[in-house]
Every structure is written in structure tokens, then in C-alpha cells.
A and B are shown apart, each in its own frame.
Chain A
């Protein structure tokens, strides 16, 4: 190298060192699963058969809540010869959780409304977990105090300060109050509704809901249109209801079925005029329930395994899968398969399904971003103190949940789980937008969102990790909830059974569990193990 060139190179590298920018944030973090590349690899097409197909009585494809519940039910019915395949390194789907030196924390679903006495499967599960303490004199279940959301449950940031509760009473006009009561009067009316068979209009899981025409008719219009028809225009009320849609469905008032909108409120009522059911939660969110469900599975649960082709033959169902850890093709020959993944995967994997069931193509899943912020210390709280759920009114995000709230820790380090649905009307565009975001872009979105409420937050964050969920929750679009073709997607396709919360059109733990238990009971019945239903 000539002297001049050497000097020039030195100058350039010195200049580039000088230009290395200071990091934008004084903390670190990363983007964590799900494995977007691996999932999309499915679309590639042809997959050769593995060397052998291991025989098994039942194969559950998908280790989310539906798949784990199916396995739970199969084992409970005496059918132990099964496997559960999960694409991700950990089971649980959107009920997954994480843990660090400060606390356990959820990666998505983080609570369960206490079940009523008719929700047998959830009661059974909670009893096994030690959360159901017994029944009161009226026969209503009683739950462990430490699992019930600790007060204060919610607060909302508006007008530069925090207020107790989720509905902003501060500054509400008389008309706002009237409309608020009018809406909940309507909810009470629906909570009291019983059809000719004695079924309620709204109940969890939705398989217990009435299909009476007056209830089903609600699905014909959007929640926004239903509110318009009743003159419910109060901005505060509509904010609350839009928040509910974003929170539970990843959609907005105008993209949510009115049936689903009312379901959110009426299905959680203890009875007409009574409060909503309390919520059960744990520091790790619904990961608590996932841990209980996965624990007995042992090596019957195979993580990092992606089912790529499922085809039915005369004497069973052949499942070809890619073992990502072992980097090899594996196969099973199952008498019955429970496909416990979403339909947009099923249509690529299950031979002949896409052509036979075009309704599946209409399902839309909202993408979500979830961030876990590990804090060295807590922000200053001069107004209403930290609650479990902390919501910012003027935000596209849903706010955050404090993981240490339920573990009773009121001082010192904590983990905040921040949620943001990408609720725009076009799910594919929203998904593309989310996929394009790198860690700094995600961190910027989180910090910009929280800064108005917590100007001192940046200096307190030790880590900020982000999960980008491409297909976080099914959207209950108007017209879909009672569409017979949509509801028919839950029916078996030959020897392939289906279980997923998506099949209810509602992304709820109870729906996933209900489908898992139903599909397992279909398999048990087909193998001659008829018994009393757990549903």
C-alpha cells in the first residue's frame, strides 16, 4: 500500500469511527420470535416424504392453548399415545410467557375472566391448578385471592394525569353519563336474554350461546353501525368500546361485528345489573395455565417441529414435518390428526382442504406488537398509582400491564408488558408494516407512546424486548360470526379434526380450550372411548 493510500484509508476509518452514532436509547433489547421465516417456508410447496412414518394413535399439530387443551383432554380420556408438534421452541402460542431476574411476564394473553359455573372445562383446569377454592352457598365458584386481579385494576392517562378506572369520568358531561348508562342498560338486557331452550345470547365459550334469530341478527352489522342506530355518539363511550375492540379483537368499531362487540361486555356479566366477572391473572399471564398443561406431556411434546404436509390415506393420516433442531424430515402415521393451528396454515398443509373449504380464505388475523420493558426502578407516580392495567387514552396502543402487580411487589424493579394491535382495516398491509420494523423502530414506537405519561421512563429501562405477532388474533368481522360456512370450518375433514380459537371468530383462552376439548372428544369417540363430556 502506498503511503498516500494508507493515510487516506486511515483518515477514512477515523472519520467513520467519528461518525458512529451514539445509540438512540440507553438500553438494549432484541426482537424475539415467532420464527417468521420458518413459518413462511411452508408456502414453498413440495416436500418429499421422510424415511419412515412413526405410527401413533393421535397427532396434535400446534402447541398453543387449543393443541395443549386437546392433549389434556386426550390424556384425560385415556388416550395417551399421541404427540404434539409445535413450530416454536416453546409451546403456548399467544399465551407464551418469559422470565428474567426481575419477574415472569406474559408475551401476549395475560388474563382470564373467572368462569361461571357452567364453564366446566375451565373450572376443571383451574381446579387442577389450585386456583378454584370451592363453591359458595349459591353454587358459584370461589377463586384464590392471590390469582384474582389485585386492586387497583385499571387506570387511564388523560389530561396529563392518571385517573382510576378505564372509563374516563373526569370531564364527562351529563349526556356522556346518560349514554354510558344507556349502553350498559342495553348490555344488561342482553345479559338477561334466554332463548326457548334457556340458552343465553352471550356466554363463554360461544358454543353455549343462543342461535336465536334476534341474537344472530346482531352479526349483520358493525358495532359502529349498531351504536349509530341507538344514537350512542358519546366520544368517551365510543372510545371505551373501541378500546375494547382493539384490546380483545385487534379491530375497531367499524370492523367488528356488533354481535362480537356486545359479546365482549354481556358474556362477562355475572348477571343483569351485576358487575363484570373479576379477572384471574398471574405475573406470567396465561403462561401459568400453559405451564400446567405442558407439564405432563414430557417428550410427547415436540418443539421446533413444523408440520409441512398432511394427507389422508386408507389406513391413517400421514404427516410430514421438518425438525428444525435436528435439521431433518420426520413423519408420523396417525389414526387421527387434530390440526390445532390457524386456517391460513391448514390450507397450505392439509391436502385438499383449501379447495374444499374456501370460507377459510376470508378469515383475517390482526398483527400485534408486544414489548416487555424491564425497569431498574419505577417511574415517579404523582397522581393515581400504578395499577395492573395502565391505559393511555390518546394512543394507538393499549397501554401496559405491570408484571409485578400480582406478585405484590410495589417497589423496585418491575417488568411492564406493552401491547399494540395493528388495527388498521387492511390486515395484510398492517402485517407488512410490522414486519418491516427493526428493533430501533419498535423501541421508538414504544418509548414515543409512553413518554407523555412517563417522561422519566427512558433512564429507568434496563431492557426492551419486542415480540412481533404476525397473526395474533382473529378479527370478528361483521357477517362472519354466524356464517354457516365459517362455522363449518370446525367440522372434521376426514380423519383431520380442527381446534383453534380462530374457529370461534374470537381470540380467547376459553374458545381455544373449548375447541381443543371438542376436537379431542371427537377423536376419543372415533377411537371408541366415549365418555362424559368435559365441556
Chain B
């Protein structure tokens, strides 16, 4: 057995102060567990499953650590300091490591349980070794009582402060880095408390300082991590991030709502998306209330589908969205799924993952009565093509003669020429167009274009019981004040893509 360690009590050993470090390392240990559990349930959904498995793996790893502690025989104090530095590094960097693994590898679960395993094992080693260091200073019954009391109290502090203080103020990445720093500080502090057992301490302290510096750099230059950088950009905490072959999808949470970003551009905020989606969907139904077959181009978040499903006449919805990662998130990410009311699961909905324009070019089938076009703003050529006269001509090939079309068409205030360019382009493709707009606080003033191949009157009636739109509010959207009124523009064609340039120029003014 490991009884060859120094038995002699160290006269300068300060047992009460060492008890305080128990409190701290216990908090740190629990924080890493919470970070891993929270992060995996944000990223993977199904929080019961994620927390259960993370806690299970973590506790069993602690057991493993406790068992392994008996093989550590000499230089307990030195081992303890090393242990603190190890926990500081792996635990401290666990959140950035896990975010990166999720965003850039396909082996997130392997990395997750690997990190949890390593941190758990190291944390499991801490208390047995500390108790062996203290065993000659304190009577055994006091030792057990004191260490375990503080261990459990530390866990309590951590579990209360994590959701109330650290998550809202620091976010996951900084929280884990901060507690890593705390672990390393305990290590450094112990080089003083346990100085007599350590022998020469200079090198050990240098090591402590190096680890602390690394973590401090991690905290200070958090922008070096993409996700932390994004947290700066998004101002809110990231709860979901995925690089698909088409775009970067990020979900953030803050101020009582959550937001979806594609390539850094806000797509919706759960606080006011109802205004946007009601305005996209219901005016078209106001003109054609009996629409049965509905085509949605884009709109992979399922929120437009949610609004369409409110219309009892609808028998079939075909949603064409480029990115399976997007429609999967709409189906399976708990927050988004709750917001769209699991709309993509409705039996009337058929999801097709394809470039909508290529799909329109190549597909055939019965015509649609109503089409909703909900693409991201035209900030690339690949998106710009979805706003060309060719697109609107291809779209018409799949519509009935009296079908209604609604197109999201950027802000008539921030990008006035772009907005009217879209309307002019639709007209050039042979459509009658009535543009409209409303305020969506998280976007600003936002615009749409309602169109049909036939002349039609501005809708005066919408579905009752909506959150924002009423009959009066609907009619009011079609009036344009002078600073947003029509300006002459070119037509956006495949061979000129004027809209991409126009859009870039107009939005540059606001950034």
C-alpha cells in the first residue's frame, strides 16, 4: 500500500486554508460537468438524455480517478499541484474544444465523452490525494467531515451560480475558461500552502503561472476562437452552431428570445418573427383564401409553414430548401421545433432539399395556387440568382394562372433601390406586383412583394386571430411613405446580377 509517503506533520501546513481549496475545486469540478451537459443538450437537443449521460460518464470517471489515486505513492503535494493544472487546462478549455469539435468534426460525441472522461478522472483524483495530504494534520473523523462537507457545499454553490450568474454573464466558453483559471489558482496557492512538502517550488510555480497565462489569454483573446468571436458578434450566447456545405447556421439565446443566423446574417428572432411570417404568408391568402397547394421556396426554419397550416383550405405544402442541415434543425432542435410547432412533421408538408431555382427548372407536376419565396437577402451571386427575372419566370411555370406569390424583398428603408429592383424585376417577368412593408423590430422596416400573373386588388381581409395582422393593419402595409417610395431601377437578370451589387452598396452604408 502507499504508506511510504512522508508521515511527519508539516509545521507550516495550514489545514483550514486547504479546506477552502476543497470548496473551490469542488465548485470547479461541478461546473465542468454542467458545462458539458448544457453544451451537449444545446447542440444535440434532448437535454434529459444529454444530462443523464454526461453525469453518468462524469461520475464513473471520478470513481476511476479515486481508484487510480492509490497508485500515486510519492510526492503527493507535487502530484496534487500537477493535478490542479491538468484539470485547469482540460476543464478550462472544455467548452471551446467542444464547440470547435461540433462545428468542425463529425465526431462530436467521441470528443464530448472523451473530455468528460478526462476531466472526471482528474477530478476524481483530487479529493483522495488531498485527504492523504491532510491525514496527519487532522483527526480522521474531522478530515472526512470537513472535506466532504465542503465538497458538497462547493457543488451547491456551483449549481446555483452556474445558471443564475455565470451562464447569463459569461456564457459557456468564458465560464469554463474562468473556472480553469480558478483551478490553476488553487494549484499556485497550494505551492505556498504545501511549500514544505514540495521541495524547490520555483519550477512548479512557473508551471502554474504558464497555465494561468494560457487560460487568461484564452479569456482575453476569446476572439481567437471562432465561436467566442461569434458570441461577440451576436452579443448573445451560442446554443447551436453547424457548418453545413452551404452555410454556417448559428442559434443564439439571450434577452428572453433566441435568434437564427445564417452566415452571420440574422434570419429571425423568436421575439418578433411572428410579425415577419404573418406578413409573408397571410396577405397572399387574403387574395386567394382557397389556396390548396402551396409552394415555399426557402423557409427551411418551418415558421412560414406554421402560418400556412392555419389555413384550413391547404391540402399540400411543398417546401424547397437548399440545406438539409436547416430543415433538420427545424425538425429536431427543441427551441426551433417548439417555435414552429413541429410544422415540418405535418402530413401535408413535403420537404425537398434542393436549390429552389434548379428544382424549378427541372421539376414538373401539378401547379401550385400560392407560392411563398423566403430566401436570405441577395448578398452573394448564388442568392442573387434567386431574385432574377429568370427565377420569377421559372416560378410561374409551376403556378396556376391566378396563383398568388409573396416574396421577401429586403428593407425598403435600408436598401430602397434593392427593394424596388426586386419589384421591377418581378414586373419584367410579367407579374402584377403590389409591394408592402411592416416593422419587424429585430430587422427594422421590412418589405415584401405580393404578385400574381393577373391583376388583383390589395387584400382587405386576413385570417382572424393573428398576433399582429388585422384587416386594417394589412391594408396599411401597402402604403409607402415618401422615404421608401418607388425609385427607378434596372431589372435584375442572370446576366447582370445588378441586385447583388446594389444590395452590397446600400447595406454598406449601415454597417
Contact = CB atoms under 8 A, between A and B. Distances in A.
B358 A408 contact: yes
Q: Which of B246, B381, B385, B393 has the most CB of A within 10 A?
A: B381
Interface residues of A, number: 16
Interface stretch (B298-306, B311-319, B493-501): B493-501
A145 B358 contact: no
B390 A385 contact: no
Contacts of B389: 145
Q: Which of B393, B493, B494 has the most CB of A within 10 A?
A: B494
B494 A410 contact: no
A80 to B, nearest CB: 36
Given A145-B493, A146-B390, A278-B495, A411 B380 contact: no
B155 interface: no
B425 to A, nearest CB: 11
A407 interface: yes
A409 B358 contact: yes
Contacts of A153: 495
Contacts, number: 51
Interface residues of B, number: 22
A67 to B, nearest CB: 31
Contact of A151 (B245, B361, B496): B496
A134 interface: no
Contact of B385 (A278, A408, A411): A408
Contacts of A76: none
B355 A151 contact: no
B381 A411 contact: no
Interface string A353-380: 0000000000000000000000001000
Contact of B494 (A145, A385, A411): A145
A122 to B, nearest CB: 18
Contacts of B83: none
A269 B355 CA distance: 35
A149 B357 CA distance: 16
A150 interface: yes
B494 to A, nearest CB: 4
A152 B384 CA distance: 11
A385 B381 contact: yes
Contacts of A411: 245-246, 322, 355, 382
A123 B374 CA distance: 38
Helix, strand, loop or mixed for chain A's interface? loop
B252 interface: no
Interface in A255-281: 278
Q: Which of A149, A152, A409, A411 has the most CB of B within 10 A?
A: A411
Contacts of A409: 355, 358
A278 B493 CA distance: 12
A407 B361 CA distance: 9
A148 interface: yes
Interface string A408-438: 1111000000000000000000000000000
B320 to A, nearest CB: 14
Given A146-B390, A151-B381, A407 B358 contact: yes
A151 B380 contact: no
Nearest to A150: B494
B388 interface: yes
B494 A146 contact: yes
Interface string A395-406: 000000000000
Contacts of B385: 150, 408, 410
Interface in A133-177: 145-146, 148-153
Given A151-B381, A411-B322, A145 B355 contact: no
Contacts of A152: 381, 497
Nearest to A143: B495
B494 A148 contact: yes
A149 to B, nearest CB: 6
Contacts of B245: 377, 411
A281 B500 CA distance: 22
Contacts of B494: 145-146, 148, 150-151, 408
B95 to A, nearest CB: 27
A148 B385 CA distance: 13
Contacts of A408: 355, 357-358, 361, 385, 494
A411 B324 CA distance: 13
A39 B381 CA distance: 45
Q: Which of B245, B322, B361, B495 has the most CB of A within 10 A?
A: B495
Nearest to B498: A151
Contacts of B382: 385, 410-411
A114 to B, nearest CB: 10
Given A150-B495, A408-B358, A385 B380 contact: yes
Nearest to B322: A411
B246 A151 contact: no
Interface string B330-358: 00000000000000000000000001011
Interface string A271-298: 0000000100000000000000000000
Contact of B495 (A148, A407, A410): A148
Contact of B388 (A145, A278, A377, A385): A145
A385 B380 CA distance: 9
Contacts of B496: 151
18 contacts: A145-B390, A145-B493, A145-B494, A148-B493, A148-B495, A150-B495, A150-B497, A151-B381, A151-B384, A151-B496, A152-B497, A408-B357, A408-B358, A408-B385, A410-B385, A411-B245, A411-B355, A411-B382
Which 9 pairs of residues, A with B, have the shortest CB-CB distance?
A151-B497, A148-B495, A410-B382, A150-B494, A145-B390, A408-B357, A145-B494, A145-B493, A408-B358
Interface of B: 245-246, 322, 355, 357-358, 361, 380-382, 384-385, 388-390, 393, 493-497, 500
Given A145-B388, A385-B382, 5 more contacts: A148-B495, A151-B494, A151-B495, A407-B361, A409-B358
Interface of A: 145-146, 148-153, 278, 377, 385, 407-411
